[in-house]
């Protein structure tokens, strides 16, 4: 009984984190996968400048990403 309650709580928390990491409608093009609470930080490492160059080449002059839990938009 107790383990099923824990499983249910963990499932609800993970689902809520998944929904929180989604970008709102109309958000500029962005990486498809963002980790809950970390955002796109792993795709920006180890060389942030090169990562921004790759995103610019892929998404154009306006693109977005998650920095932690904050949505960021870059416009060149």
In the chain, where the domains are located: 2-75
| DSSP category for residue 61 | S
pTM of the predicted model, to two decimals? 0.68
CB-side exposure of 71: number of CA atoms within 13 Å? 14
Beta-carbon contacts of 74 under 8 Å, excluding residues fewer than 6 positions away, are 52, 55, 56, 62, 63, 64, 65
- Torsion angle defined by CA atoms of residues 3, 33, 66 and 55, in that order, rounded to the nearest 10 degrees: 170
Tens digit of each residue's pLDDT (9 = 90 or more) over 19-66: 665 667 888 998 877 777 788 888 888 899 999 999 999 999 999 998
């Amino acid at each position: 009984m107790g383990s099923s309650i824990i499983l249910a709580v963990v499932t609800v928390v993970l689902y809520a984190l998944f929904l929180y990491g989604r970008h709102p409608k109309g958000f500029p093009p962005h990486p498809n996968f963002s980790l809950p609470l970390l955002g796109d930080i792993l795709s920006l490492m180890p060389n942030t400048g090169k990562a921004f160059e790759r995103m610019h080449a892929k998404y154009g002059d306006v693109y977005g990403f998650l920095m932690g839990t904050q949505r960021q938009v870059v416009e060149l």
